[in-house]
Structure formats: structure tokens, C-alpha cells
Amino acid sequence: MIQNTLSLVSGANGHLGNNLVRLLLQKGIPVRATVRNIQNKKPFEGLNCEVVQADITDKASFVKALQGVETFYAVGASFKLWAKDPKKEIYDVNIQGTRNTIEAAAEAGVKRIVYVSSIAALDYTHLPTKESNGYNPDRRDMYYNSKNDGEKLAFELAQKLGIELVSVMPSAMIGSEASLPLNVSYSVLKLILNKQIPVDTKITLNWIDVKDVAEGCYLAAQKGRSGERYILANEQCMTITDTTKLADQLYPDLQLKVPGAVPNFMLYAIAGIMELSAKISGKAPVLTRKDIAMFSGLQQNFDISKSRNELGFAPKSPAKAVQEALKYLMKHPELLKQS
């Protein structure tokens, strides 16, 4: 729809944001990239793009950054499943960030927004999950709540302000260009390679290559229907244990330990100890009791026919995505160091 006009990517030093900047530049599209910390130039080395400071909690910074922009890729958000104060650090940041950036886009005269939501904003009651299922009724997690309420708010504001908005809903993004700290999904592969997953949690993840998600964002800008949502995921999920088995087959010299099954009460006990340790250290626990309650056994399988048919979305398989992501991590040992 919109070709070779200035695009802005928020959260451009993050995993998806940075890979999206690279994709747009490869397609000959001029890019303005926003970051909270303007001193962090490393993710943009060798990239011919404009980098400016803007924070989703500061509307004025986005009104300024969005001047002359036709397509706004709203990627920037607080992406974490644990915080000392999850409502303040995750929910409030994402909701206010959505309001600030969409209002700023309307004020700046932006034509079209690709709003990066999440599969967290889907109802998993009927499988395979599809966009038309509606929103997630599970309200136990502040990140999930922020993605559900944030997407609803985004559509409401866009309609009220007369701006085109398409929502894309990625699953667990891995692979390609990355820097520390790794995102939540990529960190699971890091835990596997570092032999830090002690037991089988029966948690599944729907692996997707971040480059495929970046392509999906671009396709949504070109072909997506305003007011619609598009899942950017694979059809089938994989358990963390099966992912470990795959890693072990690929790198037998690492002698990875495939996690063994334990009773649920032991899972909760282990998670409780990890949470207690996190409160003391301030570092996110590997596992929480909420993770087990919400995700253990949850099948994250999707019907992506809408994205395939309307956008031309064609992701590589979960196994291929995992294989390439593990290869990238093995080539960049600095990403595997303990933080």
C-alpha cells in the first residue's frame, strides 16, 4: 500500500524492532528508529537509518519523532513476564505507551500504524486458536492483560482519531540479530544451552523466526486491512522438553540433559523457591507458580490461514526456526554468558 515513504520503528534496539529496521532498509524504505537510550548505538552499526530518542511514556517525544512519517511500526513495549511491581512496570507502561504513541501519530499526520500486539491477546479456549476467537479471558498475568487491553485501546483510538491501524500478533520470537538482554523467548534457548532447565514443565512455546515476524509486519503495512488482526506464528507449538531434545541432537557434544517429569506439587515447590530467590536478588526467576498454572499443558496451536491468505505470510517451520536460532547463539557465545 505505502511504498518507499518514511517509516518509523519504535523499540528499534529490541529484538523485533532491530530486525524490522534491517528488513525495511533492505527493501529500500527510509527508516527512522526510536530508542529510549540514544547512547546505545551498537544495534545500528552499519545501518543507514536515522536514530532518535523517544520514550513511549513521553507523548511529546513521539509527536516530534513521527513528523513526516507515513507508516508507524509500533513495536516498543515492556516485554517481560516478571517484575517487582508488574502493574506499574509492565501494565501501566504498555497501556499508557499505546495511548501516547497512537495519539502522537494522529497529531503528526501518520497515515498507517502496524501495531505489534501478541498471541497473548487471543482466546485459547478453542483450538486451533484464530483471530476471531476474541480476547484472552485469563487475567492472571499483567503482561498478558496489557496486550489484551492495549490492543483493544489501540483499535478504539485509531477509529476515534481516523487513522488506519492493523494489529499483528507474534508468538515466541527467536533467531537472527540479537543483543543482551535477550528477550523472554530467546532466553529459553539460552537456558537450554546452559543446562538451566532442571525439570519438564510441560510448557509449550510456538516458535517463530523473528525475520518472519518482521516480514509479516511489512506485509501488514502493505496488505493488511485496517481494523483487522493477524496472527504471526506457526501452526504447531513445541514443548520446552522437545526443544531440548532437538538441541541435544544438533549439539551432542554439549551433553544437554533432557528434563525429566516430576509431580505437579514438586513443580510448584521448585517455582516457589525460585520466586523467593528473585525477591531477594531482584533478578527474574526461571520459573514461577503463575507460569505453571497458566502455561503448563497449554497448547499454543494456531490457525494462520488469514495471515497466509491476506498477507502472503509464509513462516519457516518451528524446528527450522529453533535450529537457526541455536546456531546463532552458538556463534555468539557472549549472548550465552550468565547475567
At 173 the pLDDT is 97
**What SS3 state is found at 38?**
coil
At 1 the pLDDT is 47
pLDDT-derived band of residue 339, with 50, 70 and 90 as boundaries? low
Euclidean distance between CA atoms 298 and 136, whole angstroms: 13
Euclidean distance between CA atoms 241 and 204, whole angstroms: 9
Is the pTM higher than 0.75? The answer reads yes
Mean pLDDT across the chain: 94
Cis peptide before 263 (omega within 30 of 0): no
Euclidean distance between CA atoms 12 and 111, whole angstroms: 20
- Whether 135 shows a pLDDT value over 80: the answer reads yes
Torsion sign over Cα 269, 120, 233, 325: negative
Q: What is the pLDDT of residues 243-299, one digit of tens each?
A: 999 999 999 999 998 899 999 999 999 999 999 998 888 888 888 999 999 999 999
Which stretch of 68-72, 103-107, 178-182, 258-262 has the lowest confidence by average pLDDT? Answer: 178-182
Q: Where are the domains of the chain?
A: 7-171+210-233+300-315
Domain boundaries 7-171+210-233+300-315, CATH class: alpha beta
At 21 the pLDDT is 97
Euclidean distance between CA atoms 65 and 104, whole angstroms: 9
At 2 the pLDDT is 47
For the chain, give the number of residues.
339
Contact of 224 with 311, CB cutoff 8 Å: yes
**What SS3 state is found at 164?**
strand
Q: What is the pLDDT of residues 84-103, one digit of tens each?
A: 889 999 999 999 999 999 99
Show Cβ contacts of residue 112 under 8 Å, excluding neighbours closer than 6 positions: 1, 2, 70, 71, 72, 163, 164, 165, 166, 221, 226
Q: What is the pLDDT of residues 8-47, one digit of tens each?
A: 999 999 999 999 999 999 999 999 999 998 888 889 999 9
